[in-house]
């Protein structure tokens, strides 16, 4: 890292935080992405370690909301920070209205960030288990020790530096479930340390809002049916939630009941005005390596096979989304976040060209079947049979 970058980050660490801004999804709506019921409202979550092409940038600029994942541009630009900023600035030149989020994980330490150089000599930067190992995430990746105030200050300052750029509209917070799931890392670090980790995280999220101020978006991967309240109490700290793991049922809960609880959470949050970025995989789900059922925190899916099953899967996911969506809900069905590996990157299903129109009434539930009417479409979802049908009305 250049000396000037180190000095800038150090100054940010010492700078006072801005006045706190309590999140209200109806307040300062200018920071929210544009929204229309004209067609299915879409979201993009992607990374590419080299620069995006001109065609790819034009494609990205067609979305109201884009998150650039970890590793974006890192190989070509030298760091995730530089690569993200390059892509965001390119989008803004074409469509200033597209909202761009910068990705940071709140607990998992990923490489590729220039800011990581400041951690080299920081004591207690990472969690260590009773065994002495500090590679606790999937037994190969380090985890931030959020009980350490200096670690939290580093995290906030490094995020602030990128979010200060006018091409970045906010921050995407990942890894929240790993912190908040009571069983995750508890055996490795103990009950007391786990509780301290949650307290440190809570303080960091409060400081993040003060740091970012009212103009920047805060979107977290936090709404999940695994929690007693589905994460609604934690959602209050943010402008909205990314939703994944919609079908990653934990414990002994039947999948249909787990999905029904997730639908209820999506509906409740969306009706309260929170932004929802519903993101679900098209491939078949597989188990998370090296974890107990209760500790499964990530959605991991097999490679997509382009056949009728993928088509049915897309219809099912679209039906789930439409049953739940309200203003500022956005849809993303994907086969992974790497643009170089994806089979659906820059594809455009015909459903996205269909006129949708506003919902006529709230969704109706009968057992495990849901229905909902839009101006130009009728939706039927059966979560027990895992089928979804969107019937587009005649002459549309």
Tell me if 290 is assigned to some domain.
Answer: yes
pLDDT of residue 394: 76
Tell me if 281 is assigned to some domain.
Answer: yes
Tell me if 364 is assigned to some domain.
Answer: no
Tell me if 313 is assigned to some domain.
Answer: yes
pLDDT of residue 19: 33
pLDDT of residue 176: 98
Predicted model pTM: 0.90
SS3 for 226?
Answer: coil
β-sheet with 364-366: strand ranges across: 364-366, 369-373, 377-382, 387-392
pLDDT of residue 288: 53
pLDDT of residue 283: 73
Number of domain units in the chain: 1
Q: Domain range holding 225?
A: 3-356
**Residues written for the chain:** 396
Tell me if 365 is assigned to some domain.
Answer: no
pLDDT of residue 292: 55
The CATH number of the domain where 244 resides is what? 3.20.20.70
Q: Please check whether residue 90 is in contact with residue 52, taking contact to mean a CB–CB distance below 8 angstroms.
A: yes
Instruction: Please identify every stretch of the chain with a pLDDT value under 50, giving residue numbers as ranges.
Output: 1-22, 290
Tell me if 387 is assigned to some domain.
Answer: no
pLDDT of residue 307: 73
pLDDT of residue 105: 98
Tell me if 190 is assigned to some domain.
Answer: yes
Token pair of 63 as six digits? 């979305």
Q: Indicate left, alpha or beta for 138 from its phi (over 0: left) and psi (-120 to 50: alpha).
A: left
pLDDT of residue 5: 46
pLDDT of residue 50: 98
């Amino acid at each position: 890292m250049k000396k000037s970058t180190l000095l800038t980050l150090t100054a940010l660490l010492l700078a006072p935080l801005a006045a706190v801004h309590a999140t209200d999804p109806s307040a300062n709506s200018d920071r929210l992405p544009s929204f229309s019921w004209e067609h299915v409202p879409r979201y993009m979550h992607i990374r590419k370690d080299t620069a995006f092409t001109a065609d790819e940038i034009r494609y990205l600029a067609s979305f109201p909301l884009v998150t650039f994942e970890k590793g974006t541009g890192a190989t070509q630009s030298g760091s995730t920070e530089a690569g993200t900023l390059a892509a965001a600035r390119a989008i803004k030149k074409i469509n200033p209205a597209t909202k761009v989020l910068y990705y940071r994980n709140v607990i998992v330490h990923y490489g590729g960030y220039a800011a990581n150089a400041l951690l080299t000599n920081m004591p207690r930067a990472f969690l260590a288990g009773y065994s002495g190992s500090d590679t606790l995430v999937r037994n190969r990746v380090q985890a931030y020790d959020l009980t350490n105030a200096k670690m939290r200050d580093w995290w906030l300052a490094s995020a602030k530096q990128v979010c200060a750029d006018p091409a970045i509209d906010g921050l995407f917070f990942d890894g929240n479930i790993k912190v908040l799931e009571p069983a995750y890392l508890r055996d490795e670090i103990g009950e007391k340390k786990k509780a301290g980790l949650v307290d440190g995280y809570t303080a960091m999220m409060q400081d993040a809002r003060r740091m970012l101020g009212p103009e920047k978006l805060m979107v977290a991967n936090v709404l999940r049916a695994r929690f007693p309240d589905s994460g609604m109490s934690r959602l209050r700290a943010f402008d909205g939630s990314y939703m994944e793991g919609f079908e990653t049922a934990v414990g002994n809960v039947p999948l249909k009941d787990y999905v029904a609880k997730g639908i209820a959470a999506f509906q409740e949050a969306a009706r309260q005005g929170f932004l929802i970025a519903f993101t679900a995989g098209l491939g078949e789900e597989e188990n998370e390596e090296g974890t107990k059922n209760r500790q499964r925190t990530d959605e991991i899916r097999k490679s997509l096979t382009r056949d009728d099953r993928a088509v049915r899967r897309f219809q099912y996911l679209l039906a789930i989304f439409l049953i739940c969506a309200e203003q500022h809900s956005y849809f993303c069905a994907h086969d992974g976040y790497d643009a170089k590996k994806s089979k659906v990157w820059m594809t455009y299903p015909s459903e996205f060209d269909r006129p949708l129109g506003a919902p006529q009434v709230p969704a109706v539930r009968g057992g495990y079947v849901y229905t909902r009417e839009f101006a130009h479409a009728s939706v039927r979802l059966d979560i027990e049979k895992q089928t979804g049908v969107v019937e587009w009305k005649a002459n549309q």
